[in-house]
Amino acid sequence: MIVVPAVDLRGGYCVQLVGGDYDDERVRLDDPRGIAREWSRIGFSRLHVVDLDAATSRGQNTDVIRELLREATVPVQVGGGVRHESQIERLIDDGATWVVIGTRAVEDEDWRVDMAAKFPGRLIIAADVRDRRVVTRGWSETSTLDVIDFAESLRGLPLGGLLVTAVHKEGLMEGTDLPLMEDVADASAWPVFASGGVSSSDDIRALEHRGVAGAVIGMALYTGAIDARRTAEEFGE
C-alpha cells in the first residue's frame, strides 16, 4: 500500500474541494511547487497532480504543472482535462511518469484502447464514482455505466492502474467507501488507487486489507487529520 499526496490545482493555487463543489473550497494554499517539494522531502515517493480548471473547462494550470514536473524528485501522475493524444505526449515530455485520463477514456472506448496501445504502462484511467455510477466532466455528469462493469472492461489494456474516486465521500473526512473499493479491486486486473474520504491510518489499512494498491489523499493531509510524517514512514513506498 502506498499513500500518494494530492496536489489539486485551481487558478495557480493548491486547493481542496468538498465533493468536487467549486463553491465549497476548504483549503487554498499558494506555491503548489513548494508543497510538492515538501511532500517529497517528508518521505512520500509519489505525487498526484490534478488540473481542476482543465477538468471542468474553466482554464488550465499548464505552466505550474510543467514547473512542478521539472523540479520533481519523485514520480508524478498528472491528470485533469486530458482528452487528446497531444496532451498525453506533452505531459510525458514534461516529465510525468503516468498520465491520468478520465472523461474521454470513459466515453470513448476506441480512444482509450488506442491510447493504451500507444502509451503502454503510462496511463492511469480515472473512474470517478457516485452511487456506483461513473461520473465525468469534472463530476458534473453521471453516466449509466456501472463502475464494476467498467473495471472489468479494462482487463485487456496495458494500463498503469485504475484510480477510483468516491465522489460522494470526497473531502468529507468521514471515511472512504470500503465496499466500493473492495469490489473494484476484485474486478480490476490493474492496481487500484482509491480516493475520496480517507481520513485516518485505519482507513488506509482497511483499504490495504481489501486489496487496494494505493490511496490518493488530500484533505486529511492538508488539515492534519492524518500525520504526514508518520504516514510517509508507514505508507510512503
Q: C-alpha cell of 77?
A: 501522475
Q: C-alpha cell of 187?
A: 474486478
Does the annotation mark 8 as catalytic? yes
Q: Which of 53, 128, 183, 203 is catalytic?
A: 128
Residues 144 and 66: their CA atoms lie apart, in Å, by 35
Residues 193 and 129: their CA atoms lie apart, in Å, by 13
Site of grid cell 465525468: 136
Helix (H) or strand (E) segment spanning residue 5:
strand 2-10
Residues 170 and 166: their CA atoms lie apart, in Å, by 6
Does the annotation mark 23 as catalytic? no
Instruction: List C-alpha distances in Å: 49 to 11, 27, 42, 144, 168.
Output: 14, 15, 17, 28, 20
Residue 45: phi and psi, rounded to 5, are: -105, 10
Residues with a catalytic annotation lie at 8, 128
